[in-house]
Amino acid sequence: MKKILNLMLLSAVFFLIHISCELVSDNGDSVQGVKALRLTKDDISGWTEVSSKGFEEFEAASLHLIINGDAPQYVDKGLVKGFIQHINNAEKRGDLFILDFGTESNAAAMYNYMNDQNNYKAKAGNYDMNTAQLNTSAADGVTAYSHFGRYYIEIRLKDFPNVLESHQTAESLIEVFQYKISDL
Amino acid sequence: MFFFTSTGAQPALRWRIFKSNNISWLVSPSDLLIFSSATRTIRPMTIDPVRKVSFITDVVESEDFLFVSTDVGLYKIDKNTQSSERISFPDDQIIQGKIAVDMDYIWLADSNNLYSYDRLGTEWQSYKIPGESIQTTGISSNGEDVICIGKTVVNTFAISTEKWNTTKINDSISDSAVFFNGNNTLTMIDNSSILRYMPSSYSWETTVTESIPRDYLDEDSVIYYVVGTKLMKLTTSTNVVRPLDIPQTGEIYAFSKISDTLLIAAQKRIVKYNINSSSMDFIEYTIDLDASTIEKITFHDKFLIVICKSFVALYDTENRSWQKIARGELKQKIKAVTWDDKGFITRYAPGYQSSLTGSIEENFSLRYKGFKYDTTFHTRFRDGQIVRDTILDSTRLFGYTLPSLPLMNLNFRTTDPHDRSLEMLFNNTSLSTVPSKGLTYQGNRDDRLNSVKVGSTSSNQLSSPTLPTAQLEGGSIIIDSKKRIKERDRKILRIAAGSGLITTQTRWRTLPFRSNGTYKLSKMKNLGYNDLESDDDDTLSLDSADVSDTTDSNKDTTRIVPGSVLVWIDGEPLDSTKYTFYSRTGKLQFTPDAPVDPVSIITIQYKIQTIPDGGINEVELLPKHNFGLLNFGSVSLAPNEWISARVGYAGLDADTLSSSKKNSPILNASVPLEIRKDKFILKFAPEYSYNTQTGAMAGSALLQSRFGSKTGFVFNGMFADNEFVTTDSLSYGYGAVRNQYDFTLSHDITNEMPVSYYQHRREAENGIENRFSAQAGVHIPERPFLDLTLSRISIEHVCAPDSEKTAFDSLFDTKDKMKIRLYETSSKILTNLTHAKKISYDLSHSEYRYESGGKGWRNGRMSTAEVTVAPIQRITLSGNLIYQGGIEIDSMPSAIFKPNFELQTIDAPKGVDFNASYYLNYGKFSLYDSSTDSITRSMNIILKPGMWFPVLRWISPRAAISQVINCAFSVAGPDFWEILTGSNSTNTSNLQKSFGFNIYPTNEILIRNNNEFSELDSGNTFKTTNDIQLWLGTRNFWQAIWNFSTKNNFHNGSLIYDRILTSWLRTSPSFTVTSMIDSIGTRIETSPALKININLQNFWFVKILSNSHDLKLLWTKYKNNSTIIPQIGYTFNLTLLLMPNIQLNNFETIVFKDSKMKDFQSRLSMIVNF
């Protein structure tokens, strides 16, 4: 084991020397994992995690269990790991996909892919369309896409008696995750 | 006495599943098992190292704890640290029963008594449940009322007045009933019925099932249950039951749910069924697994846990492999030192042990950040002349994160056999609160030294209305006399002392009305994304309606405490379902049906906490920012059961977050009295505080009483001098309180007819608020329920502060309001009249009038309605309506009308499920003689040919259509038909049509298709998605996917072959082609890829070695230019679990494009689990 570690270390040093690089301290990368973004009980009043099976973590290889059929579109874009959190507030329901794509460019590529697929684009609050947007195709809710750093966030809200309320909720949730990511 | 679940209950219903981080808790009356996804093991949990637990009577979850009632006592188990604390009863009695937990009390009910455990005073108190041999089936508490469901009655216990209210249950509950406590309902599965009690409407909802449900899952708004070969979906708001059309299941024994996928333990295999897309997938059982022996299945991380009668089977979904452990082998021998999923445990002697639980995580990362460019000048001689060359030099930049303070969630706990414990904890993993840290010693109930705390603590032992509880970083100690009062569970003498820096403070705000119902309560730091806080941002900028704290200098050193927000409308507490508060962004959002009218007084209360300069994760032993140093001490003396005198001292020092200097030595005295007789209860707590330096005084009195069994009276009064400074802010939204009182008088004319009167007066720095309110209710079973509220609220002598940013300017002088609510969950009268199967309704109407500045009375109104009608079992029509009128605000419509209808049919006609919805939002602007309209309508049809011809069960077609229309009318009152249909004056219209099918011709072939046609203002589009899976045995499958969209003429096709070569090697080669046409030209991408998963277990000192390699090549042809050298991407993931419990995770990704590195990232984390 020790030999393997030494070999890995030497390889890394040779690699860096070979490509003549400069090392700088990186403040933009966080030490906490994606799981730290899970909404806690009191983060959003009125909304609670579904009492059973409300939270599931996954990696690229196990995503197909969570979303049959649609998993490849995330995995192909470089998904590393993530979680889904199911929340509800009376009859209103929300599925939050918080995904770590490893790199900022992968997360942006995932967002751009959804941007291309979205035929029902609407602005998400004050965000510009390159950062966040809504898909307003659903009659009883909304889907929101956004990306911050290496994280891509997809918020699916449904069973809202008032569809405009779902838009406000999605915008607020995007803000919450943006701030949480800044805390990482 | 009902146990955890009746012994006759279905096996799956006997289990309860709870989750925490890496662990699933699996509890049945005879087992408490924990499954760790980190180590992939399942083990029994030792609840008590000294006493042997043979039977679990009940288990409930509250916050991060499990409360477990057993045959050897009551236990509180920390789900994160797995530490267990015994909560002893007086004289070490063993009382078993049903448990409920709220903020202040733990409740336990057996057949005849309800027991409360005061979590602050650590005292037990018992109450006789009315009636004889109630046989409590389940209990629940919301902090105000405790509901005890017996076999034939529901007993509701009012905590403040200790008043019981008993109502009969029409159909008695049998011995075999199983109880589940949901968020809003209490559910009983009793033979072939699901009985749900809804405390908010005092009513029962019954769903008759075809046979006894085998398994059950409550998601609050939706319930799933299994009967025979069917999995049913029950929508709780309408009580509509729909069988899910899942073919080829045979008998179903248990099920679980992850996201939208149901995992169904069917007769031959586990079926994965997606609720949204109706797509299916399978997991074959391991050899020798007889499905009829399955008790429960659940899912954690990437593992499926199947509990059978004689063994537990684990399925690794990533490697598609099974592992079996006999349940008899789960019991372990106890060794002196162990380090496993239960932590690092050292056992010194029987009952004496120390355990270290939790984890330490350290992360390193290295990533490519592009180039740094530098221009240099090189001077040289050529042909005798000086030549200056300009050289553009580039250097690759790599960013790294150095190891910093690891993420730690550690708990070191030492216990003795007499329930004493010493605990040290540290946790810096939360993003919502500052790192928690501390040391706690907890004595047993007979010790003199009750507790010692160092670190995060509070002044709750000195808590009173004039000295509110403060959260501290410091220390506290409690010392008790050994002796207790004979008549009750209370120590005669208690001495408490402590010192620390105050870290939380309460804020109050009175808010102006906003038509969008959105308020920002705190300013946030700029994140640099310039999306949220740009100059033209009207949500967060300091506009005239901004209600955020007017001093923003502390915005980076304080944060709102999650869960601390409370809202009042016109002096009445607002139901928390009517608003949402986003604590991280400080945003308050009212729901559209919240009873907030344009002249409402909106008052909110919340707490803020101080955070370090370096952010919420920075560890500070003593907080630099704080609300002052508090030193406190108190002595309580309880000579007998009815009196308990207390004297205390609080010394307050300067606050670092404001310029005010306070140095306040306060003496406090209180004499709480409690007198309990059969027909009379009086709890009176007068209290007085005196600042010895300034002479400022404050006092309060609390009275809780009951006369007879039907009348209750609660009074709260307080006064405070102008100069009185205390541990928290004393305010109700009008500035510092001078004096205030409120009281509630309640009386039950009969159990079904409660009446109450409430009054308050709050005199404060900036105004005086008076409120008078009378309420009456008629709740006779099987009759319409009626609630009537009359109220008057008045504001006197409002002295507005110097800014226009307050809400005081818009307040009225007097406002009268009348609200009437008529509701019934399942109306027998209406069903008899109409012969409909079921009719439910909830109608409310409010009329209000207000006057301001002597300008006369003006009127307004608001109505809401919710109606559900099921003419026959299979057809349900539901609708709701919001109406608001009399609005006199320029930017708002003068009247708003929002109806919403939904029609659902199930097998009507046979084999056809139909769902249609219609939503209208109409706004009338009388002043401008105009109106607006928004219509959303949709329709879904699912056909089930298998219902017509069983041989066609393999096909499931579906179709949907939806439309959104926005209109603007040039008149205030357009034609009614135009409002309903949007046939004229249409501004925008979007139409979406779709159809598709799922086909399962054999067990090995799955085909899914969906087609979508969209007609938008921007143009029409067509999209199709197609997926075919072909299974070649349990180890191999082919999958082909083709997606097409007319937008950009987009094609995407992929072919995947997934194969398990050996038990440790899985390969998945694939080939993807994408083509699209954009405004510049055609882009074609071709991408072969290979994924390899290698999984090795239990060799050398390695428990698990799991790694995946993902290699992807990408050729692009764009505008007829082809790349010859492909883009190469490689991703590597490694999980290494070493003995005893050390985990290494490594993620590497590197991308080369045009023979140059385009992207590189490396992350390494090391986690030591205890």
Concatenated DSSP letters of B481-507? -S-B-SSSS-BSEEEEEEEEEE-EEEE
Quick check: helix, strand or coil at residue B946?
helix
In this predicted structure, the answer to whether residue B1099 has a pLDDT above a threshold of 90 is no
Who among B527, B539, B577 is closest to A46 (CB)?
B577
Q: Would you call B916 an interface residue with chain A, using a CB distance cutoff of 8 Å?
A: no
Which chain B residues in 763-822 lie under 8 Å from chain A, judged by CB atoms?
Answer: none
**Beta strands B955-969 and B98-101: pairing type?**
unpaired
Concatenated DSSP letters of A12-50? HHHHHHHTTEEEEE-SSS-SS-GGGGSPPTTTBTT-EE-
Q: Which amino acid is at B982?
A: G
Residue A42 to chain B, least CA–CA distance (Å): 4
User: Quick one: pLDDT at residue B139?
Assistant: 92
Residue B221 to chain A, least CA–CA distance (Å): 5
In this predicted structure, the answer to whether residue B713 has a pLDDT above a threshold of 60 is yes
Cα-flanking dihedrals φ and ψ of residue A175, to 5°?
Answer: -60, -45
Q: In this predicted model, which residue has the larger pLDDT, B967 or B189?
A: B189
CA distances from A167 to A84, A160, B1129 (A): 20, 10, 37
**Cβ-contact A100, B292 below 8 angstroms:** no
Confidence of residue B1090 (pLDDT cuts 50, 70, 90): very high
**Beta strands A21-25 and B385-401: pairing type?**
parallel
Q: Which residue of B has its CA nearest to A17?
A: B396
**Cβ-contact B677, B706 below 8 angstroms:** no
How many CB atoms are closer than 10 A to CB B211?
11
How many CB atoms are closer than 10 A to CB B898?
21
Q: Would you call B587 an interface residue with chain A, using a CB distance cutoff of 8 Å?
A: yes
For an interface test with B, the pick among A15, A172, A180, A184 (most B C-beta atoms closer than 10 Å) comes out as A172
Contact state of B432 with A40 under an 8 Å Cβ cutoff: yes
All residues of chain B having their beta carbon less than 8 Å from the beta carbon of residue A120 are 990, 1014, 1016
Could you read off the pLDDT of B259-312 as tens digits, one per residue? 778 899 998 889 888 887 777 778 888 888 888 999 999 988 778 999 998 899
DSSP E strands in B708-751: the ranges are: 711-720, 737-750
Confidence of residue A16 (pLDDT cuts 50, 70, 90): low
Per-residue pLDDT, averaged over A43-64, amounts to: 77
Per-residue pLDDT, averaged over B1123-1137, amounts to: 87
User: Quick one: pLDDT at residue A51?
Assistant: 63
Which residue from A48, A136, A35 is spatially nearest to B220, judged by alpha carbons? A48
User: Quick one: pLDDT at residue B414?
Assistant: 93
Confidence of residue B27 (pLDDT cuts 50, 70, 90): very high
User: For all residues of chain B together, what is the average pLDDT?
Assistant: 84
Could you read off the pLDDT of B1040-1053 as tens digits, one per residue? 989 898 888 889 89
Could you read off the pLDDT of B935-954 as tens digits, one per residue? 888 888 888 887 788 777 77
**Cβ-contact A47, A1 below 8 angstroms:** no
User: Quick one: pLDDT at residue B532?
Assistant: 36
All residues of chain A having their beta carbon less than 8 Å from the beta carbon of residue B1093 are 61
Which residue from B953, B917, B921, B947 is spatially nearest to B934, judged by alpha carbons? B921
What is the rounded CA–CA span in Å between residue B936 and residue B917?
8
All residues of chain B having their beta carbon less than 8 Å from the beta carbon of residue A36 are 429, 431
Environment class of residue B1088 by beta-carbon count within 10 Å: exposed (0-12), middle (13-18) or buried (19+)?
middle
In this predicted structure, the answer to whether residue B801 has a pLDDT above a threshold of 60 is no
Which of B423-437, B444-458, B1122-1136 holds the top average pLDDT?
B444-458
User: Quick one: pLDDT at residue B661?
Assistant: 55
User: Quick one: pLDDT at residue A18?
Assistant: 58
User: Quick one: pLDDT at residue B516?
Assistant: 79
Residue B419 to chain A, least CA–CA distance (Å): 30
Could you read off the pLDDT of B315-367 as tens digits, one per residue? 888 777 888 888 877 766 677 888 877 788 899 888 899 999 888 888 888 88
**Cβ-contact B1137, B39 below 8 angstroms:** yes
Residue B585 to chain A, least CA–CA distance (Å): 6
In this predicted structure, the answer to whether residue B988 has a pLDDT above a threshold of 80 is no
Per-residue pLDDT, averaged over B851-874, amounts to: 82
What is the rounded CA–CA span in Å between residue B653 and residue B30?
54
Who among B372, B402, B527 is closest to A25 (CB)?
B402
Contact state of A175 with B257 under an 8 Å Cβ cutoff: no
Q: In this predicted model, which residue has the larger pLDDT, B760 or B174?
A: B760
Confidence of residue B542 (pLDDT cuts 50, 70, 90): very low
Confidence of residue B528 (pLDDT cuts 50, 70, 90): very low
Could you read off the pLDDT of A56-97 as tens digits, one per residue? 888 776 776 676 667 778 887 888 888 889 888 877 889 999
Of B229-238, B524-533, B634-643, where does mean pLDDT reach its minimum? B524-533
In this predicted structure, the answer to whether residue A2 has a pLDDT above a threshold of 60 is no
In this predicted structure, the answer to whether residue B625 has a pLDDT above a threshold of 70 is yes
Which residue from B1097, B1100, B1102, B1106 is spatially nearest to B1147, judged by alpha carbons? B1106
Q: Which amino acid is at B554?
A: N
All residues of chain A having their beta carbon less than 8 Å from the beta carbon of residue B525 are 182
All residues of chain B having their beta carbon less than 8 Å from the beta carbon of residue A48 are 183, 220
What is the rounded CA–CA span in Å between residue A96 and residue A61?
19
Cβ-Cβ contacts under 8 Å for B1121 (sequence gap 6 or more): none
Could you read off the pLDDT of A140-174 as tens digits, one per residue? 789 999 999 889 999 999 888 777 889 999 999 99
In this predicted structure, the answer to whether residue B503 has a pLDDT above a threshold of 60 is yes
What is the rounded CA–CA span in Å between residue B533 and residue B757?
46
Residue labelled with tokens 């004050």:
A126
Could you read off the pLDDT of B52-111 as tens digits, one per residue? 888 999 999 888 899 999 999 999 998 888 888 899 888 888 999 999 999 899 999 988
User: Quick one: pLDDT at residue B284?
Assistant: 83
In this predicted structure, the answer to whether residue B677 has a pLDDT above a threshold of 90 is no
Confidence of residue B3 (pLDDT cuts 50, 70, 90): very low
Contact state of B585 with A131 under an 8 Å Cβ cutoff: no
In this predicted structure, the answer to whether residue B134 has a pLDDT above a threshold of 80 is no
Q: Which residue of A has its CA nearest to B1071?
A: A76
CA trace torsion B719, B722, B725, B728 (10° rounding): 60
CA trace torsion B590, B592, B598, B603 (10° rounding): -20
User: Quick one: pLDDT at residue B70?
Assistant: 93
